[in-house]
Structure 1
């Protein structure tokens, strides 16, 4: 854990607070060049200044991007690609738990309707899904060429949640059926992330990139306080710190790849099961191919 990774380039999404901030700080303190991806320029600049001051590492940079927007993600990827640098570590940390159903203003034009009726229609994306699933997928796929430049050391670490143990995969990605439940949608999103990690590991096994998902444990972060206020209040003082939550992320970033299993799910520096007994989730992962096709169609449509 005390390894120096000077000269390695790391991207951390959702890096202005909580586990993302602590991860960015931990990587910067070990000499890495860190790109902090944050939605808010103001909060991102404050976090950037704090990390540079605390670590003494000036090779820490801010990239402002709203990960609910595919267009902004494409712009982010273009900016980073223009630097023509290898990406050694991509940490997909940014996450959202919105309890009410909220949709993004971005979607895709139904071209047939446009041609026939001269009207433009947009499919809006449910916000939790847009950030947790589509955003994670688009960032990872668009960073693949830069990750390949860092092979065989390249790795992608996706921060999932123990909530995924409660639900199987579903193709109802945007919770269109039934009464919307933000906590359940978050759990669904996190299950998709684990299955995506498996799929990436299989698809890109010859690219020299390792893919890992992990559960940070329940940590006392601004995100938990905002999204789950009663839970946060009930367990105040009993939850993990951000440092404890980020520990396994940093561990995964530093370990020799031969000691890790691509496609695996990690908890507390060890490989953990992806399914609980009798939870009926294991049999659902066959759906991931259909889900990937849906995600690909969403992020590759014209801007």
Structure 2
């Protein structure tokens, strides 16, 4: 498990993989004002991309924006305000954004939450699920027309977690059991992201869009400190930095698509297994179609 914290894999990393410049590429990063999202946005801005930071909080978003512009010298960094827990807000953001008529080369679904208590959004969804699953699903589906404009180079990268290894795919998306457990729900959400990525790769394989999910390793981010305080304290100094967590996201953005496998799960710049032996999760992906059906109807509930 230690490699999930600080990795020995890096001795096999090729520095030239990260030396690619991507001017003219439009990249959207959700949850970009702190942690892995911020480190990803900064890394892409440094390489010349036009980066759109999608943040819920305007003040934090503006602070991140000006810091990235200052640190990278790249002025093609823009802020978009959108609460990823709301289907309505995602719909209005994507419709606003579509009017710009720009191709989207890379969509990075990074925004995530681990809320320990059961919280219901104003739209009636359990909060972890609303952000991690329904928000990711809605944003990706609504961005497909703009991703198609960037074909054959378009890609969607979803930041999942090794937490998903413990959890099979389940149809109980909003955790109907009475004894709500945020950590278990988070693991389930992250499993859905892996299965969705697999499904999207099949559905859109002829559209020139590649779909990848990845595990950043355990990084010391504001999100981890807030949602898992005792874990954060216990492993203080042993966890990865946000930059180390963002490394594979940036790597997936920069690699030629021929080197990548659409639908695959990546860890430390390499394809990783989606299931651990004896964990009993491997047959669970068979129910993905019914999960997608539920998500589709939930995303259409409002408007």
What is the CA distance between 1:177 and its match in structure 2? 1.9
Larger Rg, first or second structure (1 or 2) = 1
Contact preservation (8 Å) 2:88, 2:302: no
Aligned to 1:21: 38
Aligned to 2:73: 56
What is the CA distance between 1:73 and its match in structure 2? 0.1
Contact preservation (8 Å) 2:29, 2:107: yes
What is the CA distance between 1:144 and its match in structure 2? 0.1
Aligned to 1:211: 211
Aligned to 1:132: 132
Secondary structure, aligned partner of 1:91: strand
Give the distance between the partners of 2:301 and 2:175, measured in 1 at CA.
22
What is the CA distance between 1:178 and its match in structure 2? 3.8
Give the distance between the partners of 2:269 and 2:96, measured in 1 at CA.
33
What is the CA distance between 1:33 and its match in structure 2? 0.4
Secondary structure, aligned partner of 1:231: helix
Aligned to 1:119: none
Give the distance between the partners of 1:292 and 1:266, measured in 2 at CA.
22
Secondary structure, aligned partner of 1:175: coil
Give the distance between the partners of 2:226 and 2:56, measured in 1 at CA.
16
Determine whether 1:238 maps to 2:238: yes
Aligned to 1:297: 297
Aligned to 2:4: none
- Segments of structure 1 that go 5 or more residues without pairing to the other structure are 107-123
Determine whether 1:38 maps to 2:35: no
Aligned to 2:264: 264
CA-to-aligned-CA distance 1:107-131 (integer Å, 9 cap, x gap): xxxxxxxxxxxxxxxxx10000000
Determine whether 1:143 maps to 2:143: yes
Secondary structure, aligned partner of 2:207: coil
CA-to-aligned-CA distance 1:67-126 (integer Å, 9 cap, x gap): 0000000011011101000000000000000000000011xxxxxxxxxxxxxxxxx100
Determine whether 1:89 maps to 2:106: yes
Q: How many residues align?
A: 286
Q: What TM-score results when the alignment is normalised by the length of structure 1?
A: 0.94
Match of 1:70 among 84, 87, 109: 87
Following TM superposition, the consecutive aligned residue runs of length 4 or more in structure 1 with deviations greater than 3 angstroms are none
Q: Compute the RMSD of aligned alpha carbons.
A: 0.5
Contact preservation (8 Å) 2:32, 2:38: yes
Aligned to 1:165: 165
Give the distance between the partners of 2:148 and 2:57, measured in 1 at CA.
29
What is the CA distance between 1:301 and its match in structure 2? 2.5
CA-to-aligned-CA distance 1:19-40 (integer Å, 9 cap, x gap): 0000000000000000000000
Give the distance between the partners of 1:206 and 1:178, measured in 2 at CA.
43
Secondary structure, aligned partner of 2:102: coil
Give the distance between the partners of 2:56 and 2:302, measured in 1 at CA.
23
What is the CA distance between 1:194 and its match in structure 2? 0.1
- Segments of structure 2 that go 5 or more residues without pairing to the other structure are 1-17
Contact preservation (8 Å) 2:29, 2:108: yes
Secondary structure, aligned partner of 1:261: coil
Match of 1:10 among 15, 23, 27: 27
